[in-house]
Structure 1
């Protein structure tokens, strides 16, 4: 395979970075949809106001959800053992997320079919569930990545998950879930301040500023907990990054504080948690000042930085094992073949810019405030 310009280790690292980009893309782009859905029953008091809120995200939520599909597809193709363990071990959690996400298109399409206030209120709460539940469970999932999942592999490399759904709901994982919810609520509030006027924007600014401060405080609390009380993982054996993937050929130790090792050896990575805190606080201040666009950028930076914080902390792990630490998955032993990673990279080089260009064009076309008049003048409005 001399025609491939990158060695195996470089391709693995590139796909680790690309996976982070896709996860950040989903969290930032679909995150404000989830945040707006969570805020819907609280920032809009009348049916007219709720129609305005729904139509701030109605034209774009489907496109934003493409980032979730891209992320799942990247895990499936680039890191198949990670896909096998996470999507089977976390099956009930994934099912709950999918059920909540399914409520979004149903809520958007059905709420306007009947003018009965009770009918519409029911679907508004369905949209709330479709926003709040995924935001919480995604955060819980990240918390469980830091804790490690109870799984191992047989000698034939068949993944065996030994945990249950309620085992995922530990205090630390729930704290991570609350960090996620508060970040996305602040992000959604920034979108509402940017896209609406009047009472909706005022309420969104108030809720969002509280959520931004809460996100910063909870994120710091989670960091202190990780540094002092959460057992981290470290690969102690020599890793040959050019070998074919096999997660059983390494020795892993675990002890409290090990997740801080990368920050001690690579001090520049401390920029990620710092920006996570500062971005959340900046969004809170900017929302108070009704600067929706800048608040949206600040909350987006905070979300991206929080994801990078986790990625830097657990590197090179993708999913540690809490029951058999040596079976934990790293980017060096859980990837597809070198040829597969190269072909996927070529496809990404072609199609990812197209996705970004199309997304930018859509948001340019849909720029401007959503008002009573714009909703009334749009025949396809929800």
Structure 2
């Protein structure tokens, strides 16, 4: 408990806010190329062998990549229970659509090659495309709605009331954010296919990936302009203790135009996050054109990290603002679990995250190399 005494409640809350960002980035970077590859499947693969090459490029690793999604959901549940309650109940139908897509993906992987009927395989290919496109779009739409503010309120006894609808989530700004998400994951999927495949598949992936990289830059810029021009931010207007109780209603907050850019004005070094989003995508574009495989995958990963970090940098200390009652908005300082809970979770995280990273790194090392189309034809060593 001596270590616990050295890490106060404020630092623990800040650490878990940062860890939440790390887990989201880990999911977007690892499972992101799985989703992007699924979206590219009908376009980069023109025949059955080429599509099997694409599927087998992610087949051995996609399940392991899902770990980051599980960790992220678990972290939200344990470290930020109010965030979990509001988001998973308010976005229930959206989350259900993502869940259905993620359940269909392993079914498609397993069943696609069970029969040689072209129509059978074409249907499962469509499922793989949908199971890549739908989560990529909805995750981005969710972020767009978080930036706009979510229509929820809290009663004095902390009961949550969500007053929005599913179709209300599909507003223009949120859809624009969804398109940013789709574009950046297609770029990442193309970078992965350039790394893992060769011949016509890699060539087509480079073409589509180049378009996606340009679209990422353009759409991300449009989203930033829209957020500055039309999307109001939120600002806490009362003194908020950083080690106070987890009760959002103890503060006051207002909606204010340009508030999401206040952190950048106060701390100019935060501009590094959106700059990384733009520069990473441009380097990935150059890497695709120059066929620099490792550079491209690293650059696309950095672009994804920068885009996600820019959202966190804009909103801090807000985690989930309320468009109905700004006072009920959840912040880093008033919506976390207890001091002891955060500390115990941090100890567990310090032990297990390095193990997960080490194991994942070993798996990727063992599976390093390109998927061979000839081996696919001969049924040698490929499961899908």
Question: Residue 281 of structure 1 corresponds to which residue in structure 2?
Answer: 282
Question: Residue 116 of structure 2 corresponds to which residue in structure 1?
Answer: 115
Contact 1:191–1:293 (Cα < 8 Å) also in 2: no
Task: Give the Cα–Cα distance (whole angstroms) in 2 for the partners of residues 170 and 209 of structure 1.
Answer: 28
What are the superposed Cα offsets for residues 283-305 of structure 1, whole Å, 9 maximum, x if unpaired? 11211122222111111000000
Count of paired positions: 382
Deviating beyond 2 angstroms after TM superposition, the runs of 4 or more aligned structure 1 residues are 373-380
Under a length normalisation based on structure 2, what TM-score does the superposition of the two structures give? 0.98
Contact 2:375–2:381 (Cα < 8 Å) also in 1: no
Contact 2:196–2:371 (Cα < 8 Å) also in 1: yes
Post-superposition offset of 1:241? 1.1
Contact 2:34–2:132 (Cα < 8 Å) also in 1: yes
Correspondence 1:338 to 2:339: yes
Equivalent runs, 1:316-327 vs 2, <5 Å: 316-327=317-328
Post-superposition offset of 1:242? 1.3
Does the residue aligned with 2:235 lie in a helix, a strand or coil?
A: strand
Under a length normalisation based on structure 1, what TM-score does the superposition of the two structures give? 0.99
Contact 1:135–1:184 (Cα < 8 Å) also in 2: yes
Does the residue aligned with 1:255 lie in a helix, a strand or coil?
A: strand
Question: Residue 149 of structure 2 corresponds to which residue in structure 1?
Answer: 148
Correspondence 1:181 to 2:198: no
Does the residue aligned with 2:153 lie in a helix, a strand or coil?
A: strand
Question: Residue 41 of structure 1 corresponds to which residue in structure 2?
Answer: 42
Question: Residue 72 of structure 2 corresponds to which residue in structure 1?
Answer: 71
What are the superposed Cα offsets for residues 73-125 of structure 1, whole Å, 9 maximum, x if unpaired? 00000000000000000000000000111111010000011110000000001
Post-superposition offset of 1:227? 1.1
Question: Residue 260 of structure 1 corresponds to which residue in structure 2?
Answer: 261
Correspondence 1:378 to 2:348: no
Post-superposition offset of 1:244? 1.7
Structure 1 gap segments, 5+ residues each: none
Task: Give the Cα–Cα distance (whole angstroms) in 1 for the partners of residues 333 and 37 of structure 2.
Answer: 38
Equivalent runs, 1:40-119 vs 2, <5 Å: 40-119=41-120
Structure 2 gap segments, 5+ residues each: none
Task: Give the Cα–Cα distance (whole angstroms) in 2 for the partners of residues 282 and 380 of structure 1.
Answer: 32
